[in-house]
């Protein structure tokens, strides 16, 4: 095979045993890598009803044939397990240098089961794997752990993927961190890793799988370098994702004050231009990528000193720690982002949980006695920062919030639950379905909770696009509609983005809208590396296969259509700005769900895949997971 080592490492922490599996080419072509490959092992090895933070939960780290090759946007890793936040399927992606380095260490994926008796870390190097003691690393911040491991191994170039103190403490939205700034943020994969006493995976090596047609791949890579400045992706090289603050606010789509409004008066303090002109130090990239979208910031002044080692806030952190919490202090927001990278937490769930708590405080549902004397009002930057720390440590009021806003609200009662912004117990990202109508559907039906990267955004389908036409999307629709064609757009692009997560490539680089490379060029890249005569249809089928696997995992956990519900706050009209008065109508979403399930070939009543659909996708081995 080309593009793969043909080696998957199985780690049994109960017995401290390592074993290498060598799957055949049929297996690799069916699942290819990333999310789909990881889900195969998760479904095979995790029993129904497993405790997400118990030894029986399977934790999988998966790459693809493209990982580590000399082209932009390929250094990505997917991590899957049962989520401690949602108790549904967990799935999370990250970039950086770790994914490529793990590939060079000689493995395509790592499958972890059990729980070590004492903290350990996994060391990978040129096809060899060892388990090493990590008690001395337990409780340390991510930067300190990197330093200690590099000194211990006498290798400054080793890359480290780790769970931080938040994962060790069982914070349900704990993240995995590499390079101290790249996060597998969503669905609580850091808590799963911490529950296994697995502190880190450490990788270095020089093993590069053969590429079938290196000349064709390099030609495509050169095309990307040549055309970057003429593409919409180039904006990310200049201002990064913080540039979205301005446009989101102008459209009324910047969630503010726990989604009370889509407009924030203090938006300029958080904008990409402000960040670039004040605290931006430089831009970093992931392995072999020309885009360089990662902002690195530095703040020297007290009380919020920000170390550039921990990167800088992206749009999501700026919108959630900023506008959603009513905080217009860029240094405080950047520091909160740094704390999440140091402790290992998802910025979205952490910030949205704090915003919910602020809303509860303003509604009189909690008071200073509950919060340990903290005046938890919107706009209180100091309170926000202190809560991030107490959540990570599970101290005081932070202990309640460490379980996420949905569980915390359940303990406070119905009025507090009405203020929560979650689906399947996961907090919403900072893109508002009141304006991007297909997101009302995708947030509801997405198997691992609301996600802004599981499908393309509505504005990308408001006019004809040759790239969208490659996916069969030739009937563009206005942003504000949720008709049958918009549902078809949502499902089709969900298949495509699902394929991207299984090929472990970046959605900023490959896509059917504004990205650098088109869907057809993604096909060319896969062909060049693998030597397989794949088509776009086959890649879309891969994405569909992965989506059905996600749904099947949930099916056996008793999670179907009844869980595909939006929070009550979305049916309440927004106030202020261009989105004033906008809301989501429940009947509109229910009708869209009927269309969506039908188009997907699923049972409309239950929202679950049918046996016929699983057979079409060569997933017959999952039929027993279904109740229909």
d(CA 35, CA 174): 19
Instruction: State the Cα angle at 93 between 27 and 135, rounded to 5°.
Output: 100
Residue of 340, 341, 342, 337 lying closest to 327 (CA atoms): 337
pLDDT at 403: 98
For the chain, helix (H) and strand (E) counts, in that order, are 24, 16
Mention every residue, 6+ apart, whose C-beta is less than 8 A from residue 506.
72, 73, 74, 76, 95, 286, 289, 291, 500
Six-digit token string for 456: 């393309």
What does the pLDDT read at residue 188?
98
Q: How far is CA 339 from CA 194, 267, 298, in A?
A: 18, 22, 14
| Rounded Cα gap, residues 176 and 192, in angstroms | 10
Residue 448: Cβ-neighbour burial (10 angstroms; 0-12, 13-18, 19+) = buried
Nearest CA to 167 among 369, 323, 346?
Answer: 346
Domain ranges of the chain: 8-204, 231-413, 438-625
Question: By C-alpha distance, which of 338, 307, 348, 330 is closest to 92?
Answer: 348
pLDDT at 627 over 70: no
Nearest to 231 by CA among 467, 459, 451, 462: 467
Of residues 362, 351, 367, 360, the one with CA closest to residue 420: 360
Query: Residue 93, Cβ neighbours under 10 Å: how many?
Result: 22
Do 427 and 348 touch, CB atoms closer than 8 A? yes
- Architecture of the domain spanning 8-204: 4-Layer Sandwich (3.60)
Tokens of 126: 């040129």
> pTM value?
0.98
Q: If pLDDT is split at 50, 70 and 90, which confidence band does 628 have? A: very low
Question: Is there a contact between 112 and 314 (Cβ–Cβ < 8 Å)?
Answer: no
Of 177, 453, 160, whose CA–CA distance to 337 is shortest?
177
DSSP 8-state class, residue 124: E
Q: Which long-range contacts (CB under 8 A, 24 or more apart) does 418-421 make?
A: 418/568, 418/569, 419/258, 419/356, 419/359, 419/360, 419/363, 419/365, 419/569, 420/356, 420/567, 420/569, 421/258, 421/259, 421/352, 421/356, 421/567, 421/569, 421/570
Task: Kindly report the average pLDDT of the chain as a whole number.
Answer: 97
Other C-beta atoms closer than 10 Å to the C-beta of 324 total: 30
Is the previous residue joined to 303 through a cis bond, with omega within 30 degrees of 0? Answer: yes
Question: Which H or E run includes 397?
Answer: helix 397-401
CB 564 within 8 A of CB 445: yes
189: pLDDT strictly greater than 60: yes
Give the 3-state secondary structure of residue 331. Answer: helix
pLDDT over threshold 80, residue 468: yes
Whole-angstrom distance, CA of residue 342 vs CA of residue 163: 10
Calculate the dihedral angle through the C-alpha atoms of 518, 1, 29, 219, rounding to the nearest 10 degrees: 10
Q: What's the pLDDT score for residue 14?
A: 98
Q: Are 461 and 473 in contact (CB under 8 A)?
A: yes
Asked if pLDDT for residue 90 goes beyond 70, the answer is: yes
Residues 352-390: tens digit of each pLDDT: 999 999 999 999 999 999 999 999 999 999 999 999 999
3-state SS, residue 583: coil
Q: What is the pLDDT of residues 505-515, one digit of tens each?
A: 999 999 999 99
Mean pLDDT over 332-336 rounds to 98
Work out whether strand 59-62 and strand 17-21 pair parallel, antiparallel, or are unpaired.
unpaired
Among 509, 513, 516, residue whose Cα is nearest residue 436: 513
CATH, domain range 231-413:
1.10.569.10
Structural contact between residues 170 and 394, judged by C-beta atoms closer than 8 angstroms:
yes
For residue 312, how many C-alpha atoms fall within 13 Å in the half-sphere facing its CB? 27
Q: Select from 506, 401, 395 the least CA-distant residue to 453.
A: 506
CATH class of 438-625: mainly alpha
Residue 624: pLDDT band by 50, 70, 90 thresholds?
confident
């Amino acid at each position: 095979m080309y593009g793969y080592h043909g080696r998957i490492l199985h780690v049994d922490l109960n017995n401290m045993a390592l074993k290498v599996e060598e799957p055949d080419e049929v297996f690799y072509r069916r699942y290819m890598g990333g999310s789909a490959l990881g889900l195969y092992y998760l479904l095979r090895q995790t029993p129904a009803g497993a405790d997400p933070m118990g030894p029986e939960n399977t934790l999988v780290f998966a790459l693809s044939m493209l990982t580590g090759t000399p082209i932009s946007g390929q250094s990505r890793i997917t991590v899957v397990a049962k989520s401690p936040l949602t108790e549904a399927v967990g799935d999370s992606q990250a970039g950086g240098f770790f994914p490529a380095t793990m590939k060079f260490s000689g493995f395509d994926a790592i499958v972890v089961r059990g729980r070590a008796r004492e903290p350990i870390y996994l060391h990978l190097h040129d096809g060899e794997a060892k388990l090493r003691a990590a008690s001395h690393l337990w409780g340390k911040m991510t930067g300190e752990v990197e330093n200690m491991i590099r000194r211990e191994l006498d290798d400054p170039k080793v890359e480290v993927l780790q769970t931080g103190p938040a994962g060790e403490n069982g914070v349900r939205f704990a993240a995995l961190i590499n390079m101290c700034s790249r996060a597998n943020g969503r669905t609580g994969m850091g808590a799963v890793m911490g529950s296994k006493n697995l502190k880190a995976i450490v990788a270095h090596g020089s093993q590069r799988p053969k590429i079938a047609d290196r000349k064709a791949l390099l030609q495509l890579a050169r095309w990307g370098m040549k055309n970057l400045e003429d593409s919409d992706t180039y904006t990310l090289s200049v201002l990064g994702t913080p540039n979205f603050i301005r446009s989101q606010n102008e459209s009324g789509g910047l969630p503010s004050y726990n989604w009370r409004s889509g407009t924030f008066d203090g938006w300029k303090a958080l904008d990409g231009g402000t960040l670039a002109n004040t605290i931006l130090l430089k831009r970093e990239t992931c392995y072999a990528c020309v885009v360089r979208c990662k902002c690195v910031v530095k703040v020297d002044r007290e009380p919020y000193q920000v170390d550039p080692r921990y990167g800088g806030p992206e749009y999501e952190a700026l919108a959630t720690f900023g506008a959603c919490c009513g905080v217009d202090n860029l240094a405080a927001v950047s520091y909160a982002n740094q704390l999440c990278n140091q402790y290992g937490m998802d910025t979205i769930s952490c910030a949205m949980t704090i915003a919910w708590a602020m809303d509860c405080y303003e509604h009189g549902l909690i008071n200073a006695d509950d919060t340990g004397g903290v005046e938890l009002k919107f706009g209180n930057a100091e309170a926000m920062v202190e809560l991030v720390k107490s959540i990570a440590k599970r101290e005081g009021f932070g202990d309640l919030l460490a379980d996420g806003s949905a569980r915390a609200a359940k303990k406070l009662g119905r009025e507090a639950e009405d203020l929560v912004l979650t689906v399947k117990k996961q907090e919403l990202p900072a893109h508002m379905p009141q304006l991007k109508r297909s997101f009302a559907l995708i947030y509801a039906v997405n198997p691992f909770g609301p996600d802004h990267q599981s499908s393309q955004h509505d504005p990308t389908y408001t006019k004809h696009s040759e790239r969208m036409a490659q996916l069969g999307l030739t009937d563009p629709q206005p942003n504000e509609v949720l008709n049958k064609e918009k549902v078809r757009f949502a499902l089709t692009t969900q298949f495509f983005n699902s394929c991207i997560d299984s090929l472990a490539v970046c959605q900023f680089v490959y896509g059917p809208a504004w990205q650098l490379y088109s869907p057809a060029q993604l096909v060319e890249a896969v062909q060049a590396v693998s030597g397989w005569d794949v088509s776009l249809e086959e890649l879309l089928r891969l994405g569909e296969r992965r989506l059905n696997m996600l749904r099947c995992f949930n099916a056996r956990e008793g999670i179907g259509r009844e869980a595909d519900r939006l929070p009550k706050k979305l049916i309440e009209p927004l106030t202020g700005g261009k989105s004033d008065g906008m809301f989501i109508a429940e009947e509109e979403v229910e009708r869209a769900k009927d269309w969506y399930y039908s188009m997907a070939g699923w049972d409309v009543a239950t929202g679950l895949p049918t046996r016929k659909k699983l057979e079409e996708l060569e997933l017959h081995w999952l039929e027993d997971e279904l109740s229909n």
